[in-house]
Amino acid sequence: MERRRVIAGNWKMNMTQESAKVLMLDVIKWMPKNLPADVDVVLCVPYTLLNFVGEMIKGTRIKLGAQNVSWAEKGAFTGEISSAQLIETGVTHVIVGHSERREMFNETCEMVNKKIKTALANNLTPIFCIGESLEQFDRGETKAVVARQVKEGLNDLTEDELKKIIIAYEPIWAIGTGKTASSKDAQETIEFIRTQFSTKVSKTLPILYGGSMNKDNAKELLSQPDIDGGLIGGASLKAHDFLCVAGSCI
Active site residue 93: no
**41 and 10 Cβ atoms separated by less than 8 Å:** no
Q: CB within 8 A of 240, min separation 6: which ones?
A: 26, 215
Sign of CA dihedral 39, 94, 149, 117: negative
Phi-psi region of 186 (alpha: psi -120 to 50; beta: other; left: phi over 0): alpha
* Contact of 181 with 171, CB cutoff 8 Å: yes
* Known catalytic membership, residue 170: yes
Residue 90 CA to residue 29 CA, distance in Å, equals: 21
- Taking the CA atoms of residue 132, residue 135, residue 140 and residue 144 in that order, the dihedral angle to the nearest 10 degrees is -40
Active-site entry in 98, 100, 107, 132: 98
User: Which entry of 73, 152, 170, 191 is annotated as an active-site residue?
Assistant: 170
Q: How far is the CA of 165 from the CAs of 22, 223, 245, in angstroms? A: 31, 22, 22
Annotated catalytic residues are 98, 170
